[in-house]
């Protein structure tokens, strides 16, 4: 049989087969998948359903990125030549890598395409997650600034301030602590140690 004939009979994964391998969570890896996603989501510290869904999407895309890298890593060791074939390990490794690249060019091109798409999706999800978190933190900061201002006004007039009675989600102790922290910071900024006494 000719070399061409041998090559035509070689099993080359189709794009659909590669996609199925990357995007499918197999039963034997399900536990590792869930653990990976759980840890990735936890590290992002999402709050609320929108942030959680974005964090979960980021985790899934990171998992797929790992599978693409694993697929590529699996390909190259298959093409190595033994030391006896060349007499020199470094030459054998170079020839092996070149042969693997030639034999799997279509597969590597498909992996590269999936990797680029996955990275674009991951970048977009991370960007949107940062935006949503920043918006949430800005709203939180605006609310606590307003609550502290009202607390100080009530205190100056000798009245008790209940944040929740004025539509805030903070407790009285939270606002009191925040007000004290700001007061200490304001005193420290005058560079006078005596002002730091509570």
The DSSP secondary structure of 63-93, one letter per residue, reads HHHHHHHHHHHHHGGGGPPPHHHHS-HHHHH
pLDDT tens column, 46-66: 999 999 999 999 999 999 999
User: Does the pLDDT at position 10 exceed 80?
Assistant: no
Best mean pLDDT range from 59-73, 146-160, 184-198: 146-160
Given CA atoms 61, 20, 77, 101 in this order, what sign does their dihedral have? Answer: negative
Q: What is the pLDDT of residue 59?
A: 96
> How many C-beta neighbours within 10 Å does residue 149 have?
11
Overall average pLDDT of the 23-45 stretch:
91
Average pLDDT, the chain: 81
Q: Of 76, 81, 80, 77, which Cα lies nearest the Cα of 107? A: 76
The confidence band for 23, taking pLDDT boundaries of 50, 70 and 90, is: confident
The confidence band for 97, taking pLDDT boundaries of 50, 70 and 90, is: low
Overall average pLDDT of the 57-81 stretch:
79
Helices (H), the chain: 3-9, 15-23, 30-44, 48-75, 83-86, 89-103, 105-156, 172-188
Rounded Cα–Cα distance for residues 148 and 185 (Å): 14
Name the residue with higher pLDDT: 18 or 78: 18
Question: What is the rounded (10 degree) CA torsion for 31, 35, 41, 47?
Answer: 90
Name the residue with higher pLDDT: 130 or 85: 130
Residue 61 and residue 122 in contact, taking contact as beta carbons nearer than 8 Å = yes
Name the residue with higher pLDDT: 176 or 100: 176
């Amino acid at each position: 049989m000719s070399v061409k004939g041998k090559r035509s009979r070689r099993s080359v994964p189709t794009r659909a087969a590669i996609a199925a391998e990357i995007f499918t969570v197999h039963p034997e890896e399900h536990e590792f998948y869930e653990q990976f996603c759980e840890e990735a989501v936890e590290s992002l510290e999402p709050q609320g359903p929108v942030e959680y869904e974005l964090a979960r999407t980021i985790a899934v895309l990171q998992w797929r990125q790992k599978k693409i890298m694993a697929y590529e890593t699996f390909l190259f060791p298959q093409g190595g030549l033994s030391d006896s074939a060349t007499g020199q390990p470094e030459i054998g490794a170079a020839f092996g890598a070149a042969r693997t690249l030639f034999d799997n060019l279509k597969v590597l091109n498909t992996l590269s395409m999936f990797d680029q798409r996955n990275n674009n999706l991951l970048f977009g999800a991370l960007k949107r997650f940062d935006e949503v978190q920043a918006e949430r933190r800005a709203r939180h900061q605006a609310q606590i600034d307003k609550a502290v201002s009202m607390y100080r006004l009530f205190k100056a007039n000798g009245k008790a301030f209940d944040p929740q009675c004025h539509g805030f989600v903070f407790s009285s102790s939270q606002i009191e602590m925040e007000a004290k922290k700001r007061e200490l910071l304001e005193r420290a900024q005058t560079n006078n140690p005596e002002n730091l006494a509570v």
